[in-house]
A and B are shown apart, each in its own frame.
Chain A
Amino acid sequence: MANIMIRQNAAGGLVFYLPKRDLEAAINSIEFDTPEKWGGELKLENGGSYYVDPIAKPPRLPISVRAKRLGAAED
């Protein structure tokens, strides 16, 4: 489990940020994106994927959440 921060970039897309490793990557897809349920599997542009427990859609980004690594981009 790792603390991550999800923020919105200027273009409106979601950006994933892992402070511990200073890893910043655009989020290509998010599994659940409805007002009641938001989160699930995040697919990153660098090939990695993380899982965030679904929550109600946060009213404001950025938000820090706990995430589980499903598959890391090799480095």
Chain B
Amino acid sequence: MAALTREETASLIAEVLEVYPEKAKKDRAKHLMINDKELESSKKCITSNRKSLPGVMTMRGCAYAGSKGVVWGPIKDIISISHGPIGCGQYARAGRRNYYVGTTGVDAFCEMNFTSDFQEKDIVFGGDKKLAKLIDEIEMLFPLNKGISVQSECPIGLIGDDIEAVSKKAAAALNKPVVPVRCEGFRGVSQSLGHHIANDSVRDWIIHNRDGQPFETTPYDVAILGDYNIGGDAWASRILLEEMGLRVVAQWSGDGTLAEMENTPKVKLNLLHCYRSMNYISRHMEEKYGIPWLEYNFFGPTKIKESLRKIASFFDDKIKAGAEAVIEKYTPMMDEVIAKYKPRLEGKKVMLYVGGLRPRHVVGAYEDLGMEVVGTGYEFAHNDDYDRTIKDMGDATLIYDDVTGYEFEEFVKAMKPDLIGSGIKEKYVFHKMGIPFRQLHSWDYSGPYHGCDGFAIFAKDMDLTLNNPCWNLMKTPWQKDASEAEKKAA
């Protein structure tokens, strides 16, 4: 049962768009749709991956954020240099909570900020010499690094520095991969192109490094792609896969290493969690190495069971039996979680606005808890993401692409969800409106949310947020008295 009927949702969209000038209204209307489960393709209903309109508040990032922040950053033994002015690297440093095992500054480097700190003279005279010197210094100070990636910030592309030449020279001198990544922030309309550029640079500089080298394989080798280990997510997923008898060779890229990435072409199946950010490399490995890839979803027991069976179907009976055993083992635990939290959360409405995979992947987890997702949207999805979303969402629910700050607030005012799941930029706006809010980018400094262990934490967090007594204190006592007095009088 949707919160609003199809007609009500349509009139809500029309009402919200009313304030825009004619041209902007026409453009924004294309980015909003009412879900229809019958649809095969989202093409006719929603436009995505277009430049945001100047003047609206958008939550998108840039190509550098997609490459350094998402794909390259979490690889723990590669040092990613933020090549350019200092701000991009410093203000994004360690913000994504990609957990890893290792000693920071010795053999793991994710939480540190390496930057060439461009000054005016570097813009004028070029920064190639500085980069070469920086790489030498890194090698001297951090000899246990396994490789270096050069993540370009905007000025590098603007002044035309030849980071490829510097990288090639350094790679030969150090005998380590030094990867130039052309992820200048001005490329593309959102961080999505950064993911693509990062995948392409992995394809060009990393993935084939160990081709032809001996590697002890088993028939049960898999790789986890697109899990960034936020709050330990990849570990919670890995437990399930290993318990069913698979061998996880590589984690991309949360808690991942260069060696794991180089060994990935030897696996039998690529398991893809975040489709948006890693489908490119999966497609490449499928073509070059003949490795099939599979999208899976480890949010909530229903989807976990479905995914485990789907993964097992690629293997023999031993793994299939393993999957059933894992399901059997964890079902009582999951049922306990649901029994505890469902009565406290049932019937509550949720609105989501996140990036990557979550706007569709977490729907199942909310449904397991008896909650209903009444609206969802992506910051930087493409139409293939929306094709996949249509099936997961309820009929007549609202779907918004690159929603503007104004639209999101108006939708929330009209639909009155009990909980909103989005990012830090939205959080305090909705807190001030008195609506419970969870960050679904960083799990609000909690997590993991993937896997069976993660679901228990997910359910607890949602309960703590939604049923927090502070939401009853939003009105000042005198406002409350007045409204209560009115009620009594009436």
Chain A residue, CB-CB nearest to B287:
A62
Which residues of B have CB within 8 Å of A60?
A: 290
A50 at the interface (CB under 8 A from B): no
Within the assembled complex, what's the spacing in Å between the Cα atoms of A25 and B382? 12
Within the assembled complex, what's the spacing in Å between the Cα atoms of A73 and B383? 13
A5 at the interface (CB under 8 A from B): yes
Within the assembled complex, what's the spacing in Å between the Cα atoms of A73 and B44? 10
In the complex, how many angstroms separate the beta carbon of B95 from the nearest chain A beta carbon? 26
B389 at the interface (CB under 8 A from A): no
Q: Once the chains bind, are B384 and A22 in contact (CB under 8 Å)?
A: yes
If the complex has contacts A24-B384, A45-B41, A75-B47, are A19 and B286 also in contact, measured as CB distance less than 8 A?
no
Q: Once the chains bind, are B283 and A5 in contact (CB under 8 Å)?
A: yes
Question: Which residues of A, 19-57, contact B by the 8 Å Cβ criterion?
Answer: 19, 22-25, 45-46
Name the contact of A64 in the complex, choosing from B40, B196, B287 (C-beta under 8 A): B287
Within the assembled complex, what's the spacing in Å between the Cα atoms of A22 and B49? 9
What 1/0 mask marks residues of chain B from 375 to 408 whose CB sits below 8 Å from any chain A CB?
A: 0000000111001000000000000000000000
B280 at the interface (CB under 8 A from A): yes
Within the assembled complex, what's the spacing in Å between the Cα atoms of A7 and B293? 12
Q: Once the chains bind, are B43 and A17 in contact (CB under 8 Å)?
A: no
Within the assembled complex, what's the spacing in Å between the Cα atoms of A5 and B280? 11
Interface residues on B, range: 10 to 19
Q: Once the chains bind, are A62 and B286 in contact (CB under 8 Å)?
A: yes
In the complex, how many angstroms separate the beta carbon of A47 from the nearest chain B beta carbon? 8
Within the assembled complex, what's the spacing in Å between the Cα atoms of A1 and B49? 22
Chain B residue, CB-CB nearest to A48:
B43
Within the assembled complex, what's the spacing in Å between the Cα atoms of A5 and B192? 19
Name the contact of A22 in the complex, choosing from B41, B287, B290, B382 (C-beta under 8 A): B382
What 1/0 mask marks residues of chain B from 278 to 290 whose CB sits below 8 Å from any chain A CB?
A: 0010010011001
In the complex, how many angstroms separate the beta carbon of B27 from the nearest chain A beta carbon? 13
Which residues of A have CB within 8 Å of B192?
A: 22
In the complex, how many angstroms separate the beta carbon of A22 from the nearest chain B beta carbon? 5
Question: Which residues of B, 38-57, contact A by the 8 Å Cβ criterion?
Answer: 40-41, 43, 47, 49
Name the contact of A7 in the complex, choosing from B41, B280, B286 (C-beta under 8 A): B286
Q: Once the chains bind, are A46 and B283 in contact (CB under 8 Å)?
A: no
What 1/0 mask marks residues of chain B from 331 to 343 whose CB sits below 8 Å from any chain A CB?
A: 0000000000000
Tell me how many residue pairs across A and B have CB atoms closer than 8 Å. Answer: 32
Name the contact of B287 in the complex, choosing from A5, A23, A24, A25 (C-beta under 8 A): A5
Q: Once the chains bind, are B196 and A22 in contact (CB under 8 Å)?
A: yes
Which residues of B have CB within 8 Å of A7?
A: 283, 286-287
In the complex, how many angstroms separate the beta carbon of B475 from the nearest chain A beta carbon? 47
Which residues of A have CB within 8 Å of B280?
A: 19
Within the assembled complex, what's the spacing in Å between the Cα atoms of A5 and B41? 19
Name the contact of B43 in the complex, choosing from A19, A46, A63, A64 (C-beta under 8 A): A46
In the complex, how many angstroms separate the beta carbon of A66 from the nearest chain B beta carbon? 15
In the complex, how many angstroms separate the beta carbon of A10 from the nearest chain B beta carbon? 9
Which residues of A have CB within 8 Å of B43?
A: 46, 73, 75
Within the assembled complex, what's the spacing in Å between the Cα atoms of A73 and B286? 27
Q: Once the chains bind, are B41 and A17 in contact (CB under 8 Å)?
A: no
If the complex has contacts A22-B382, A63-B287, A64-B287, are A46 and B196 also in contact, measured as CB distance less than 8 A?
no
Chain A residue, CB-CB nearest to B49:
A22
Within the assembled complex, what's the spacing in Å between the Cα atoms of A46 and B39? 13
Which residues of A have CB within 8 Å of B387?
A: 24
Which residues of A have CB within 8 Å of B49?
A: 22
Within the assembled complex, what's the spacing in Å between the Cα atoms of A7 and B290? 11
If the complex has contacts A22-B49, A46-B43, A75-B47, are A17 and B382 also in contact, measured as CB distance less than 8 A?
no
Which residues of A have CB within 8 Å of B40?
A: 45
Which residues of A have CB within 8 Å of B283?
A: 5, 7, 17, 19, 62
Within the assembled complex, what's the spacing in Å between the Cα atoms of A64 and B40? 25
Which residues of B have CB within 8 Å of A45?
A: 40-41
Which residues of A have CB within 8 Å of B47?
A: 75
In the complex, how many angstroms separate the beta carbon of A26 from the nearest chain B beta carbon? 8
Which residues of B have CB within 8 Å of A46?
A: 41, 43
Report which A residues bind B (CB closer than 8 A).
5, 7, 17, 19, 22-25, 45-46, 60, 62-64, 73, 75
Q: Which 7 A-B pairs have the closest CB atoms?
A: A24-B384, A62-B287, A22-B382, A46-B43, A62-B286, A64-B287, A5-B283
19 further contact pairs, Cβ within 8 A, besides A5-B287, A62-B286, A73-B43: A5-B283, A7-B283, A7-B287, A19-B280, A19-B283, A22-B49, A22-B192, A22-B196, A22-B382, A22-B384, A23-B383, A24-B383, A25-B41, A45-B40, A46-B43, A62-B283, A62-B287, A64-B287, A75-B47
